[in-house]
Chain A
Amino acid sequence: MKVTLIVGTDKGGFRFTSEDRRTWRMEEPLFKGWKVTTSARSPAGRWFLGTSSLVYGAAIHVSDDGVEWRQIDKEKSPSYPEGGIHKLNQIWTIHADKDRCLAGVDTAGLFQSTDHGESWQPVSALNDHETRPKWFPGNGGLCAHTILADADNPNRIWCGISAVGAWRSDDGGASWQSKNEGIRCVIEDKDLKDIGYCVHSMVQDPADPNTIYRQDHTGMFRTKNAGDSWEKIESGLASWFGFPIAMDPKTKTLFSFPMESDEYRMPVDGKFRVYRSADGGESWEALGEGLPSTPNYSGVLRSAMAIDALDPCGVYIGSTDGRVYASADLGDTWQALPATLPRVMSVHAYTED
């Protein structure tokens, strides 16, 4: 089995491939000089990349072979109305299903495609939600960064927006409800009590889509009822604060990267450690063999943690100081990939025969 990593950084996308998950080959940069914010691959094999630039804006690129890329044109790309107050600054995430693709963007909004990403339409019920004028950005901007879907119920979708909260639609995106009960509000509005929650990332149990794990600005949480209520699951974590969370769907093992508080946002005491839970978040243990052993005050951003589809699963993280670490044994041991990159924005792992 071959594993391909696409590592999105502040200055390009970097693709690593491996047949054995020990020896990695790095290819030429994708979109050198551009911020590569996310990648995805649909079940049909179409590749997606999100790019952005302070100067030249954001775009989605597609490829059917991973070699030749084609940018989606302006009229068909995610975009806000000309002359309006919202601007498309960044493609944060792309969720590519067989029949539907969803893109989460900054300024916060969702866009949907039903033609494999050739054209995108706004999910207006969320983008123009009645609370929208009061949405307030977090440190990473006002961004829709996480999309989850129920494979058995295409009408049910979740979206995470910083610093607004988690939202769920039960009717294919036609209406949305705030789903943050049990979580502390960080930016309280005088009147609107459904917003001001700062979800950082979420991961879903594919065998039980109602079970979702959430790294939030205010802690690590779990829901077993599709987001109707959340409970804290922080036993053993070095800190309740952090950004990424990932799950091996086969063993349901969870991975996170705690960091010291929202004020500092760096590994606690300079110890660069991934944390693992083998019991659905009831308890967490630190993993460090092969990770930096000297003091390290970088970090791991919300999209910079990935899992592959092999058994045992591979775990991959990218750091803000440009290193990528890989584990081929469910996080027991790690190796640094042979490169130092710009700040890592995203890591995605793709497995093929």
Chain B
Amino acid sequence: MAKVRIELPTVLSQVVGGARVLEANGETLQAVFADAFSQCPALEVHLVDEAGVLREHVLCFLNDENTRWAESFDRPVSDGDRITILQAVSGG
């Protein structure tokens, strides 16, 4: 099972106990998020909407790849991968 590092923005970290980085395990991106949400249930409120998908303005990178265009989160991850959460709001 892969161990993956999830990096959170500061505005989000303050509502999930202050951690900027979570470590979660899983064979797939979906499984890693499920593990992260079980460790930190508050995180799910802020990343996933009522449709069960990532919120519209949440950006999620798997290493350097934007997952927005991934067909599914049911894709393998590797030990040492890095997930970065950012907000997709720019400009004024």
Contacts and interface: CB of A to CB of B under 8 A. Distances in A.
B84 to A, nearest CB: 14
Interface residues of A, number: 26
A59 interface: yes
Nearest to B47: A56
A82 B15 contact: no
A31 to B, nearest CB: 7
B46 interface: yes
B50 A53 contact: no
A148 interface: no
A71 B42 contact: yes
Interface stretch (B22-30, B52-60, B64-72, B74-82): B52-60
A353 interface: no
A87 interface: yes
B51 A82 contact: yes
Nearest to B57: A55
Interface in A60-80: 61, 71, 73-75, 77, 79-80
A86 interface: yes
A160 B43 CA distance: 31
B91 to A, nearest CB: 13
Nearest to B48: A74
A84 B50 contact: yes
Contacts, number: 66
Contact of B15 (A31, A80, A81, A88): A31
Q: Which interface class (under 10, 10 to 19, 20 to 34, 35 or more) fits B?
A: 20 to 34
Nearest to A85: B50
Given A31-B15, A71-B15, A73-B42, A55 B55 contact: yes
Contact of A79 (B41, B50, B55): B50
Contacts of B58: 55-56
A84 B58 CA distance: 20
A339 interface: no
Given A32-B14, A34-B11, A55 B87 contact: yes
A51 B15 contact: yes
B45 interface: yes
A115 to B, nearest CB: 17
Contact of B50 (A51, A54, A75, A80): A80
B88 A55 contact: yes
A182 interface: no
B15 A57 contact: no
Contacts of A86: 50
Contacts of B50: 79-84, 86-88
Contacts of A80: 50
Given A56-B12, A56-B55, A84-B50, A73 B89 contact: no
Interface string A142-167: 00000000000000000000000000
Contact of B46 (A33, A59, A87): A59
Contacts of B88: 55
A336 to B, nearest CB: 28
A81 to B, nearest CB: 7
List of 9 A-B pairs having minimum Cβ-Cβ separation, nearest first? A56-B46, A73-B41, A33-B11, A55-B57, A55-B87, A71-B42, A74-B45, A74-B44, A87-B50
20 contacts: A31-B15, A32-B14, A51-B15, A54-B57, A55-B55, A55-B58, A56-B12, A56-B45, A56-B87, A57-B55, A59-B46, A61-B15, A71-B16, A71-B42, A71-B45, A73-B42, A73-B45, A74-B41, A87-B49, A87-B50
Interface of A: 31-34, 51, 53-57, 59, 61, 71, 73-75, 77, 79-84, 86-88
Interface of B: 10-12, 14-16, 41-42, 44-52, 55, 57-58, 87-89
